[in-house]
Amino acid sequence: MLANKIAFFDSGVGGLTTLHVALQQLPNEDFIYFGDCLNAPYGVKTTEEIRNLVFDAVEFLQKHNCKAIVLACNTATSAAVNQLREKYPNLPIVGMEPAVKLAGKIHDSGRILITATDSTLRGQKLNELIHDLNMDDLVDVLSLQELVLFAEKFEFDSPALFDYLKLKLEPFNWDEYNSIVLGCTHFNYFKNQLRKFIPETVHILDGNQGTVNRLKSLIKEGEGSRQIEFYLSKKADPDYFLPFLKYLDNQ
């Protein structure tokens, strides 16, 4: 049987923001989405714990007739993508990468703020990316770890959310910045909310489009119809994720 589905994996609902882009640009594909919500958030776990969870998820997904797997999670990518590609050399595995390269391309003046989870900011992958792009002197970093939990709780407009963003973002002199990079797919739900604290002159960037572009370069066009199978920590749940996709449709 030919592999004919594209699988998306995330620690929870964040990867739906990447799937949302793919649904718009790959109309002839069928998809599987697995959100490991029962083990979220990943960003506060050790690299070994994250890697074990990701390997379990990919083992589950690759049994479901997949022609490619997208790690729609920066934390999972940082912890496990190289090891996964070694284990599954014939299966295209696409990882997330914070849009640091894009930030560098559009950079004219000002600094770049990279936001991510605690684990991604600690990880070697992000630090190597910044160094390889010769951007060490341009970049500042900021953990927005709590946004993961706000997203998982479908909490997009609460006073607690705005108090958190105010605490984290108001100390910055935004006149000094050219862009802010959202280095976690959960953060992409909050672009409108972030804009309340960040002036229009500062670009808000994420890696979703680059990831989907990479996916498109690795696969042959399918013959599907944008059907999606949903799994929640290895249990089929067709309804759990739909409100999140609807929320993205309305952004």
Per-position pLDDT tens, the chain of length 251: 456 899 999 999 999 999 999 999 999 999 999 999 999 999 999 999 999 999 999 999 988 989 999 999 999 999 999 999 999 999 999 999 899 999 988 877 889 999 999 999 988 889 899 999 889 899 999 999 999 999 999 999 999 999 999 999 999 999 999 999 999 999 999 999 999 999 999 999 999 999 999 999 999 988 888 899 999 986 767 689 999 999 999 98
Alpha carbon dihedral 243, 193, 77, 34, in 10-degree steps, equals: -10
Sheet containing strand 93-95, edge to edge, reads 93-95, 66-71, 5-10, 30-35, 228-232, 235-236
Q: Which are the catalytic amino acids?
A: 73, 184
Per-residue pLDDT at 106: 84
Per-residue pLDDT at 173: 97
Q: Is 170 exposed, middle or buried (0-12, 13-18, 19+ CB in 10 A)?
A: exposed
Per-residue pLDDT at 215: 97
Per-residue pLDDT at 239: 86
Tokens of 178: 């050219």
